[in-house]
């Protein structure tokens, strides 16, 4: 019996007409070889979204978010039409779908909207008629009929959400790399291609700096149990990574990957009254401003006053500092500051649940190099440390050498 799969092609995979035809050929070949039913999701051509944003900002310094979404969403509209044309030219019936035609409903949060639901009836009808639906990624429609966009990497979210709505057997994410690596192969020659990774590990790695997949796309895949594959458009036979449920893993290394990100800033509030009400006031104001908080730490506690530090995306740091500074007099704090010279390095692995000593090995490796650790965050399967930005790449290589390059024991998939 044939399967139903979703194939998503990112910006580099559809960067020009030649690449679009290459992607269309991959779809056509898959259909002819397997008989599977296929839905396609595409991004805008590589660089097109940046070009449109720059065009908007050349007109006005701070474009209206609604109008910006109206503008940047046109990039995907061009690609879906070209992809449908290319498929038709290869003898495959195809039809392009904007978010409105695909009935992808989102909230009203322009430029960073979240999908609420997908009425897949139009897409299903096309599939039943033997047509390959080519759906615009990155965009949606709010309840007023306005076009919204899902933020950077939003086409990944669209692809997995469409797969969930269709109850697809798998979702393939085609990109310019061979799959998911143990760390960034551009900076670490010993980075390893990972054959399998759990949803939980991939969610952590994506949130902590691995740029292969958007974290929300992994969340959708985990929530709806969609097998997710990452592979190269340009050499699809040269490796693949499957993101699956933990119980499906063949083995569970202690550390699966080491990630880093340099796009965060640290906000510190000095001498804040050490009571829950003050903390509640700060984080309630930031939540109402839709600012995501990552790491939080408390230092300098003297029983009455304390310093509170937390990290936010660097692009939100100026707005965050402005909100916090406005609260300083009311909170009776001493002041607030922002440090952009930071980076976060993390080790991730589902095997950490079954082994002790990972933290001690990580801190020992950093101590030998005399590295200042500013903040620490942990979960059952990850350890993150905040370090000076200039140290991030060398610490990445050090921790990768410690946990991944060296031989390490594995945990059987089924105890």
165 and 29, same structural domain? yes
Residue 207 lies in a domain: no
Number of domains making up the chain: 2
pLDDT at residue 210 in the model: 80
Residue 339 lies in a domain: yes
The residue that leads in pLDDT, 275 or 156, is 156
CA distance 352 to 32: 43
Residue 190 lies in a domain: no
Give the domain CATH number at 319. Answer: 3.30.2130.10
From residue 88, give the alpha-carbon distance in Å to each of 39, 82, 309, 335: 14, 10, 56, 63
SS3 384: strand
Residue 415 lies in a domain: yes
* Neighbouring residues of 299: CB distance < 8 A, sequence distance ≥ 6: 306, 307, 309
Q: Which domain holds residue 376?
A: 248-415
Minimum mean pLDDT among 48-57, 266-275, 301-310: which range?
Answer: 301-310
Q: Is residue 149 predicted with pLDDT exceeding 70? A: yes
For the question of whether the overall pTM of this predicted structure is more than 0.75, the answer is yes
Q: Is residue 222 predicted with pLDDT exceeding 70? A: yes
* Phi, psi (degrees; rounded to nearest 5) at 360: -65, -40
Q: Which strands sit side by side in the sheet containing 104-106, from one edge to the other?
A: 115-118, 104-106, 139-141, 147-149
pLDDT at residue 392 in the model: 62
Identify the H or E element spanning 397.
helix 392-400
Reported as a single tens digit per residue, the pLDDT across 52-97 is 999 999 999 999 999 999 999 999 999 999 999 999 999 999 999 9
Which residue among 144, 176, 208 closes a domain? 176
Residue 243 lies in a domain: no
- Work out the pLDDT band at 407, boundaries 50, 70, 90: very low
């Amino acid at each position: 019996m044939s399967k139903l799969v979703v194939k998503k092609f990112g910006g580099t995979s559809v960067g020009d007409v030649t690449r679009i035809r290459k992607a269309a050929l991959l779809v056509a070949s898959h259909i002819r070889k397997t008989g599977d039913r296929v839905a396609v999701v595409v991004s805008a051509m590589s660089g097109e979204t940046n070009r449109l944003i720059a065009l908007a900002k050349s007109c006005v310094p701070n474009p209206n978010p609604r109008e910006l979404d109206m503008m940047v969403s046109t990039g995907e509209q061009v690609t879906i039409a070209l992809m449908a044309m290319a498929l038709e030219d290869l003898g495959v019936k195809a039809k392009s779908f904007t978010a409105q035609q695909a009935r992808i409903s989102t909230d009203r949060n322009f430029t960073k909207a979240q999908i609420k639901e997908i009425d897949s009836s139009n897409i299903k009808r096309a599939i039943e008629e033997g047509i390959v639906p080519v759906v615009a990624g990155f965009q949606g429609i709010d309840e007023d009929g306005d076009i919204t966009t899902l933020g950077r990497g939003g086409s990944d979210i669209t692809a997995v959400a469409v797969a969930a709505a269709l109850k697809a057997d798998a979702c393939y994410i085609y990109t310019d790399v061979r799959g998911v690596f143990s760390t960034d192969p551009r900076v670490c020659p010993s980075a390893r291609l990972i054959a399998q990774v759990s949803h939980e590990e991939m969610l952590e790695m994506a949130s902590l700096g691995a740029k292969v997949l958007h974290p929300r796309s992994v969340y959708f895949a985990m929530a709806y149990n969609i097998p997710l594959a990452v592979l190269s458009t340009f050499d699809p036979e040269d490796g693949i990574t499957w993101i699956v449920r933990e119980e499906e893993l063949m083995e569970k290394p202690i550390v699966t990957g080491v990630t880093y990100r340099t796009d965060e800033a640290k906000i510190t509030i000095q001498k804040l009254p050490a009571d829950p009400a003050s903390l509640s006031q700060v984080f309630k104001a930031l939540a109402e401003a839709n600012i995501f908080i990552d790491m939080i730490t408390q230092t300098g506690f003297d029983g009455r006053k304390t310093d509170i530090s937390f990290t936010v995306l660097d692009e939100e740091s100026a707005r965050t500092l402005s909100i916090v500074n406005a609260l300083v007099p009311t909170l009776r704090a001493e002041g607030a500051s922002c440090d952009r010279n930071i980076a976060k390095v993390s080790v991730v692995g589902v095997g950490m649940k079954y082994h002790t000593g990972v933290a001690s090995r990580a801190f020992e490796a950093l101590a030998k190099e005399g590295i200042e650790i500013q903040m620490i965050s942990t979960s059952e399967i990850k350890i993150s440390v905040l370090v000076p930005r200039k140290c991030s790449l060398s610490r990445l290589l050090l921790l990768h050498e410690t946990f991944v390059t060296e031989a390490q024991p594995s945990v059987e998939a089924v105890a």
